[in-house]
Structure 1
């Protein structure tokens, strides 16, 4: 996503707040930062004349091979630590505060859940008046970039994470959008004949898109993913994966 994807409603909301809070995921403890996503948020705030307050992010257990229970607890612990840091930041900056969410807060984002938990840190009688402005989701941008409808006529669309993709395929899902990819593990799945529409860093300088039969384009996708990371310093990618027997057509665009 990029600054150009702010809706008119989002711009108006942004200009109405006193400060915007943003986590720095790579704070070095010396006032510097290597978080490229923070740089995007900083540019957005500068363009619209809003002061940005940076909050050092909490550490998260990102070890490979965590069980589902361990993964859930790692995320929960990270969220608890983030809420505590938010509570301190909100206390230091009373008034209207903005939070910039990447994409749409209703899709695979925990901002709203953490705001709910923030109430536990408020004094009696205090409360949060939360206003949510919908954003342009990565699903919408993926469909637009590839000029496709994400599902065939009257067919379902399953949205999941890379971690849960094997489970979705085992359950018989045939038309899947996959988000939150730490890496691309399709070579280990029986999807070589499936069609894929893949995009990374939508709206950023490193934006890349590839479409085709998985067995034909997997190498291209892996190379494009590396190029996106080299250009932007980060990768956020997603893809539509469609079984050959589910009415899939040749990738367009």
Structure 2
């Protein structure tokens, strides 16, 4: 009875929305927009502008809903995130149920930053929702922040024939540089995880608000630009009330 479309919309540039994504939005009966509070209202605003530019179907209903926040009182990180996902699934259900009609199919869409497969929880939340409502899941891929970062800096993602490790700021802090790779992409960094590394021989390509009008880019030897990145990041977060950033680091291969 319910089709749920998770639609990747890129990293913030409306021009990154694919033709496939635009068609997926236009066929929806209901598009849900998460509201994250006044300090992140411009994120919801960007979603609304993308919807306005892509949707021509007059029957499509657009509805905002309050996104639950993680409970900081839960000490275990994974448990805290799992509880949060449970709460979001319930919020999705509460937003969808008033639109259900007996024997009438309902097409629901959610716009996902970047791509639903890359460090995004929408697919896991959809699994929870599927236990509560009968639904078919469809995914429309989007341009990832990694692609946008490499394009903005005009660099290749990988070294010649070499592997790449994609991980988080938390993991970098806890375990250091991942073994077996000289290129590392860091997402979900609360700020400055690269400061835990010996910067010798490491270059960094950092970006905030990649793809958006507010885009900020810094690159160079980590030893030379680390402080600049931290200062820029702090100022940008204070100015906007939020920040989304990502960086790629490459180190000189170890000598045999």
TM-score normalised per structure 2: 0.83
Q: What RMSD, in angstroms, separates the aligned Cα atoms of the two structures?
A: 2.2
Q: Deviation per CA, 1:111-140, whole angstroms, max 9, x where unpaired?
A: 011111102212xxxx21211110001111
Whether 2:149 is the aligned partner of 1:142: answer: yes
| Residue of structure 2 in register with 1:185 after alignment | 193
For 1:57, which of 49, 64, 67 is the aligned residue? 67
Alignment match, 1:45: 51
Asked whether the 8 Å contact 1:207–1:228 carries over to 2, the reply is no
What does residue 30 of structure 1 align with? Answer: none
> Which consecutive residues of structure 2, in runs of 5 or more, have no partner in the other structure?
1-10, 101-105
Question: Structure 1: where are the runs of 5+ without partners?
Answer: 28-32, 248-253
3-state DSSP of counterpart to 1:113:
helix
**Separation of aligned partners in 2, 1:62 and 1:238:** 24
The two structures have a TM-score, normalised by structure 1, of 0.84
Partner of 1:100, secondary structure, is strand
- 2: distance between equivalents of 1:143 and 1:34? 26
Residue in structure 2 matching 1:117, options 124, 128, 139: 128
CA distance in 2, matches of 1:238, 1:217: 15
Do residues 79 (structure 1) and 85 (structure 2) align? yes
How far off its partner does 1:243 sit? Answer: 1.3
**Which position in structure 1 is the counterpart of 2:230?**
222
Contact 1:201–1:208 (CA under 8 A) maintained in structure 2: yes
- Residues 160-199 of structure 1: CA distance to partner in whole angstroms, max 9, x if unpaired? 0000013151646431000011112322322243100111
Residues 45, 51 of structure 1: 8 Å contact kept: no
How far apart, in 2, do the equivalents of 1:22 and 1:14 lie? 12
From the superposition, tell whether residues 88 and 63 of structure 1 become closer, same or farther in structure 2 (CA, over 3 Å).
closer
2:117 paired residue number? 106
Write the mapping of 1:170-249 to structure 2, written as runs, cut at 5 A: 171=179, 173-229=181-237, 232-245=240-253
CA distance in 2, matches of 1:135, 1:21: 18
Deviations 1:76-105 (A, max 9, x none): 000001101111112122311110000001
Q: Structure 2 matches for 1:82-101, cutoff 5 A?
A: 82-94=88-100, 95-101=106-112
Residue 177 of structure 2 is aligned to residue 169 of structure 1? yes
Greater fraction strand: 2
Ranges of 4+ aligned residues in structure 1 off by more than 4 Å: none
Aligned-residue offset at 1:106: 0.8
Q: Which has the higher contact order (CA 8 A, sep 6+)?
A: 2
* Change over 3 Å in CA distance of 1:11–1:232 after alignment to 2: farther
